[in-house]
Structure 1
Amino acid sequence: MPALLALLLCGTDTSGAVARNHRGNAESSLFTAEYSPDRARSSRSRKTLFQWRNETSFSATTDRDQPFVTDRPDFTEAATTVGRGVAQIEFGYTYTYNSDNGERTRSQSFGQPLLRYGLLADWLEFRIALFPTVTRITTAGESTTSRGTEDLYIGCKIALTEQQGMLPEMALIPQTNIPTGSGSLSSNELEPGLNWAYAWDVNDLISAAGSTQGNRRIDDSGEAYLEFAQSWTVAYHLADKLGAYTEWFAFFPSGADTARVQHYGNGGLTWLVSDNMQFDVFAGIGLNDAADDYFFGSGFSIRFGQGIE
């Protein structure tokens, strides 16, 4: 419902609307304005699909002169896209530990490549990710190790609005997991979902963001259920190229047999090596019994391409 209300408050670009001319040739005038090269180019180069009603015009972006914004290392996705013709690859490593009822689980995810590429318009982004994983489970002194990849993730990000005062910058991410994973690492079923990301620049030093998700998941019993996920994060500008963040996120299963609510807290640092490369480190802990005990990791992101005007 909040997403629907936000969309209702948005307006599309009306700069190409054409009034009936003095000869009554409305169809000809509308066709010319709608399909002119200048209008098509403007539609592709604007940063967002919609604008808040009190904005007067769409802003545009054409290349990598825009700030380098990544989706990692926090759980909350950025509410911006990379721009048409720009490719961005984000890599990472995560170690996760959990001990529960005499069973210890150590999991390492290597690489975690997420490819983001701007398609057709600056406000549209294609996304694909793969997570190679090694998991070791120890029970009563005996250990078993499994290696493989988790299910393939694909999606697209649609930049909806830029921030306008108290009204947030927003993006919508239709997404799904495709059952390509190895053995027990795969759910063996499609897991479609929707992620709504929103953000505010509070001032030059602090920004805030959040995300609300709903995704299909498969329980340990093999039954499907709906998993809601919520996050809130605060980012801090510490120095010219140094940033930090603190974050809370949680998973809320609905209709699950064995999955339980999980809460996490985490934080990290980012270092902008250049205009198109960033390193990060992060660590977090589980905030309730159902959550993993702790996790930590690092990663880097790099941007390619000059964009398309």
Structure 2
Amino acid sequence: MKQTLYLGFILLLILSGATTAFAQGEEIETDRPDQTESSSLVPKGTLQLEAGYFFQKATEQGLSIRTHAYPTALVRVGVLDWLELRVLSALRDSVTENGKEREVSGLAPLNLGVKVKLWEEQGWRPEAAFLVRAALPVGSRSFRPDNPEPEIRLMFTNGITEKIDLAYNLTHSWVEGEPQKGYTLSLSGELLDKLTVYGEVFGSKRKGEKAEHQADIGVLYLLLPNLQLDVAAGKGLHASAPDFFVTTGVSYRLPR
């Protein structure tokens, strides 16, 4: 029932904007499905919805843990030419397998943030932006943190050619009170006017724990100038990382 309502809402948005989308002129840029947040902001006065389904399988201390998130939903609002507001959450469930199943489900923590443009690309100097956000102790008890968990992220993009971009992030966050550092590196290329593919590596390390490194590949298809479909899959690069994940979704920018 939840999935049906979600798909119906997306369909309503598509139908309402299909006619004006072609005249809008500005093609949508998204922060999904990869782990690398873009250094671009949504235009001033516009609202963008990025939503999808996420599945991950991980093995921890001999236990197999499957996690579903449906839908993940990121709402981005362009406030100024250099400022964007963001709200992120999801419905989640996790199943632990060890002879018998234990299912936990509920609402993921509410994540609030702002993205700030730092400077435009010039020569070898990359385009840059700054993101600060926090997971708040709001949501289902099984998933929400006891205290706010902030994250600081620097985002950079270099245009290698007109059709190839190199994007990378540096992150510093706090999870359960412990500092965590991370990175992402993504190379994307436009194969056709509406089709883009990318490859990515990313990782993180929390104090006192082993680092987790993963890699993924994905495809983005621009159905309309303000409507994008995507699919991606990835896997862990060593035992301490999740086994694999898949995600697919849709992103839509409301016409101005």
TM score, norm. by length of structure 1: 0.74
| Paired residue type of 1:153 | N
Equivalent pair of 2:106/2:142 in contact (CA under 8 Å): no
Paired with 1:238 and 1:130, the residues of 2 have a C-alpha distance of 32
Instruction: Say if 2:86 is the partner of 1:127.
Output: yes
SS for the counterpart of 2:72 is: coil
Partner of residue 174, structure 2: 216
* Contact 1:151 1:180 (C-alpha < 8 Å) held by counterparts: yes
Q: What is the match of residue 17 of structure 1?
A: none
Are residue 281 (structure 1) and residue 231 (structure 2) matched?
yes
Provide the C-alpha distance between the structure 1 equivalents of 2:223 and 2:145, rounded to a whole number of angstroms: 38
Aligned length: 234
Given that 1:85 and 1:305 are in contact with CA atoms closer than 8 Å, whether structure 2 keeps it comes out as no
Task: Select which of 169, 189, 193 maps to 1:240.
Answer: 193
Q: For residues 241 and 284 of structure 1, what CA distance do their matches in structure 2 show?
A: 23
Please give the secondary structure, in 2, of the residue aligned with 1:182. coil
Q: 2:217 aligns with which of 259, 267, 278?
A: 267
Higher strand share: 2
Deviation at 1:64, TM superposition (A): 5.0
The question of whether the paired residues in 2 share the 8 Å contact of 1:206 and 1:236 is answered with yes
Runs of 4 or more above 4 Å deviation:
none
The reply to whether residue 179 of structure 1 matches residue 137 of structure 2 is yes
For residues 67 and 200 of structure 1, the distance between their equivalents in structure 2, rounded to whole angstroms, comes to 19
Pair 1:67 & 2:24 matched: no
Q: 1:302 aligns with which of 248, 252, 256?
A: 252
Q: What SS class does the counterpart of residue 85 from structure 1 fall into?
A: coil
Query: What is the SS of the residue equivalent to 2:142?
Result: helix
| Distance in structure 1 (CA, Å) of the matches to 2:180 and 2:192 | 38
Choose which of 68, 72, 85 in structure 2 pairs with 1:108.
68
Q: Is the 8 A contact 1:134 1:148 kept in 2?
A: yes
Q: Indicate the percent of aligned positions where both proteins have the same amino acid.
A: 29
Q: Per-residue displacement from partner, 1:58-84 (whole Å, max 9, x unpaired)?
A: xxxxx9533311000100001011011
Extract unaligned runs of 5+ from structure 2: 1-22
Q: Mean alpha-carbon deviation: is it higher for 150-159 or for 274-283?
A: 150-159
CA distance in 1, matches of 2:132, 2:73: 19
Deviation at 1:113, TM superposition (A): 0.6
Distance, in Å, in 2 between the alignment partners of 1:216 and 1:100 is: 21
Is residue 226–residue 255 contact of structure 2 (8 Å, CA) maintained in 1? no
Aligned pair partner of 2:50 in 77, 90, 97: 90
Q: 1:80 to 1:185 in 2, by over 3 A?
A: same
Q: How far, CA to CA, are the matches of 1:150 and 1:233 in structure 2?
A: 26
Per the alignment, in what secondary structure is the counterpart of residue 175 of structure 1?
strand
1:299 alignment partner AA: G
Partner of 1:230: 183
Shift of 1:171: 0.5
Question: Which residue of the other structure, out of 157, 162, 173, is the alignment partner of 2:115?
Answer: 157
Partners in 2 of 1:215 and 1:67 — Cα distance? 31
Q: Find the counterpart in structure 1 of residue 38 from structure 2.
A: 78
Q: 1:46 — aligned with what?
A: none
Deviations 1:213-238 (A, max 9, x none): 111111xxxxx111111010000111
1:145 pairs, out of 98, 103, 120, with 103
Partner of 1:54: none
Q: Does the 8 A contact of 1:180 with 1:188 survive in 2?
A: no
Note if contact 1:64-1:86 (Cα within 8 Å) is conserved in structure 2.
no
Alpha carbons 2:184, 2:203 under 8 Å: kept: yes
For 1:108 and 1:184, how far apart are their aligned partners in 2? 14
Question: What amino acid is aligned across from residue 240 of structure 2 in structure 1?
Answer: A
Q: Does the CA contact (< 8 Å) of 1:83 and 1:124 recur in 2?
A: no
| Aligned twin of 1:4 | none
- Consecutive unaligned residues of structure 1, counting only runs of 5 or more, are 1-62, 219-223
Distance 1:203 1:301 in 2: 25
Larger Rg: 1
